[in-house]
Structure 1
Amino acid sequence: MVVHNLLPADFLRVRAKDVVADGVVSLTLEHPDGTRLPDWTPGAHIDLVLPDGTTRQYSLCGDRWDPGTYRIAVLREPAGRGGSAYVHDRLTPGDRVGVGGVHNRFPLVPADRYLFIAGGIGITPLLPMIRQAELVGAEWHLLYGGRTRASMAFHADLTHTYGERVRVRPQDEFGLLDLVARLSEPSPGTKVYCCGPGPLLAAVQAACAHWPAHSLRTERFTAADRSASVRRTPFEVELRRTGRTVTVTPDVSVLHAVRGAGAEVLSSCEQGTCGTCLVPVLEGTPEHRDAVLADHERASGDCMMPCVSRSHSDRLVLDL
């Protein structure tokens, strides 16, 4: 995971708020005094801290070459925990919001060709990837699905700018995306990037099962189904910086346990999908239960997501 420099301590200001689709608004953010914002790379997201204290994670979807603004898009989620409702109903231009940092767990890697597959609001991290692929002269195509055309943010701009390389397929007009037709034949040198709801990710993963290893890269906005934890007994977590030790019982997350011991750990989704709460592991063997870390990061065992992950060993030592 790539973590860029944190923003200045000051909150950012909402420069503009625009409706970009049914149930989707975009926010353009700037520093109040015009300070240059940290650079970012395609696939990056920010931790947005709302005035009511809610923290949520959103993909950056604006122009990465504009040093003065960040742009995100927020889908209204009626069944959510209130973050999107606050953005849609209460946040206005001129308001200030906090940004915890810029992270990238979904980076665009060099390739000869790209196939981008988006479902709904999953288009947001793919927008700067498309611009980057265009910049370097790589071959690319986008398959974009959603419930209705009106609910699909940025589709008109995409088709106007890129023409036939963009295929917009609303479900009420075309049914589900025809993944078999696009993925039946493996394409050497092609990277497949997919972001969207869980069923789409599962379908793309199944369709790419016979592709060369590491051809597919995904990002999810909702938690994957998780099996029961291997360990069902308490374990200890030592906070190395403070010297405190806390016992984590099966009914308490590591995140809540260490916060109870005084550790300040920023978190957002608390479902293992955003990577905000990543902490270094100094000793012990974590049981990874997140949807963020790559296989080699899990194997190294030197970091974990305390919101969902547990411990294989009797004791973990965290750099907190």
Structure 2
Amino acid sequence: MAAERPLRLNGTDRPDRLLSALTGVVAVYRRLSEVSGRRRPPVSEVDRDLPLALAAATPEAEGVRSLRLVRPDGGPLPRWRPGAHLDLVLPCGLVRQYSLCGDPDDRSYYRVAVRRIGAASARVHALEPGTRVTVRGPRNAFPFVAAENYLFVAGGIGITPILPMVRRAAARGVGWRLVYTGRDRASMPFLDELADLDPGRVWIRPDTEYGIPASGAELLEGSPESASLYCCGPIPMLTSVRVDAALGGRRAVFYERFSTPPIVGGKPFQVRLGRSGRTLDIPADRSALDVLRENVPGIAYSCRQGFCGTCELPSATGEPVRVCVERNAVTLDL
């Protein structure tokens, strides 16, 4: 995913005044997070390692490469539904999550797309066809729920989970609209595939062609409030869309982020290391994982959002703790 930019708005006066007041944004974001947390079902654990081979790697946009993964024996892969992702285990041992963006009905391959933004994605971009990799999953933290009307909003590499949803909605013959925004067209993957869809339902909205990133209100324009909203992209875009969706009375809002969420309304707490007896103070604006990594080298992590389980550590009571999202005092078996 491209580096996030500071949020600048080009919407109506009301959303702009609200979003310019930081305390207002924090309060609304906090309420939305609590509601979304209650609505989102838990992510099912998938205890399955699949040995796959890289069949092809294709440039999709500036800094974006798609991978076509297959079974070495050519057999069918486990089923998946739009919104699902894989844990990709690289030969070096790093684990990263990538949304499936191929055809759910074609079980001969999995396709993911990766934007080069750091060490792990650089290793993915360096993989050559024929390389053997391991994947875990598929699992779904962004389920696509049946509805009569949809609004899809994607930002940059956030198009990856949205693309199969759009195709499924089109195949069902229900109402849908896609708004796809990004830095510029060159950085936006899969524009050629979107060109095959109904052009009257697709709005490609690059920042460079409008002079400013879109406000949430602008991205929501032209869609009925009753439409189920699916949104994926950088945190500033997600926050703007969710705030303006709440102001407009939308209730069916589903979203996925590709970066670590901000800690909103956090409180300080302590983590005690049972073996050494050390106590670590965790500030309100940091995670236990952040502080543990500074004090205990070698702690593994990946998604930093609480669903992959890579950072899970045993507590003194034997219960596993995912330290990237833990917000209570706890004693770890370290």
Is the shorter-chain TM-score for this pair beyond 0.5, marking a shared fold?
A: yes
Distance change >3 Å, CA 280–CA 84, structure 1 → 2: closer
Tell me, yes or no, if structure 1 residue 223 matches structure 2 residue 264.
Answer: no
- Of 288, 291, 315, the residue aligned with 1:253 is 288
Match of 2:269 in 1: 232
Q: Distance in 1 between matches of 2:187 and 2:100?
A: 19
* 1:269-288 equivalence runs, <5 A: 269=303, 271-272=304-305, 275-277=308-310
Match of 1:292 in 2: none
**What corresponds to 2:244 in structure 1?**
207
- What letter corresponds to residue 131 of structure 1 in structure 2? R
Residues in 2 aligned to 1:4 and 1:315: alpha-carbon distance in whole angstroms: 24
Change (3 A) 1:139 1:279: farther
Q: Does the C-alpha gap of structure 1 residues 166 and 308 become closer, same or farther in structure 2, counting only changes over 3 Å? A: same
Residue in 2 that maps onto 1:197: 234
Please give the secondary structure, in 2, of the residue aligned with 1:125: helix
TM-score by length of 1: 0.76
Matched letter for residue 87 of structure 1: V
Deviation, structure 1 residue 219:
0.7
Query: Within 2, Cα distance between the matches of 1:120 and 1:86?
Result: 20
Q: Specify the code of the residue in structure 1 equivalent to 2:226.
A: G
Higher relative contact order (CA 8 A, sep 6+): 2
- TM-score (ref. length: structure 2): 0.73
> Which of residues 283, 301, 311 in structure 1 aligns to 2:328?
311
CA contact (8 A) 1:197 1:222 kept: yes
Contact 1:47 1:268 in 2 (8 A): no
Q: What pairs with 1:92-111 in structure 2 (closer than 5 Å)?
A: 92-111=128-147
Distance apart, 1:249 and its partner CA: 3.1
2:69–2:111: 8 Å Cα contact kept in structure 1?
yes
| C-alpha deviation, 1:217, in angstroms | 1.3
Deviations 1:61-86 (A, max 9, x none): 00111112100000011xx2x11111
Aligned equivalents of 1:136, 1:283: Cα separation in 2: 51
Identity %: 39
5+ residue gaps, structure 2: 1-41
Unaligned runs of 5+ in 1: 238-243, 285-301
List per-residue Cα deviations over 1:76-107 (Å, max 9, x = no partner): 11xx2x1111111x201000111122221111
Q: Distance in 1 between matches of 2:164 and 2:314?
A: 32
Deviations 1:167-218 (A, max 9, x none): 1111111232354245368834311111111111111012112244642211
The answer (yes or no) to whether the contact 1:266–1:276 under 8 Å persists in 2 is: no
- Match of 1:295? none
Q: Is the 8 A contact 1:42 1:128 kept in 2?
A: yes
Letter in 2 for 1:125: P
SS for the counterpart of 1:160 is coil
**SS of residue paired to 2:269:** coil
The Cα shift of 1:315 comes to 6.4
Residue number in structure 2 paired with 1:112:
148
RMSD: 3.5
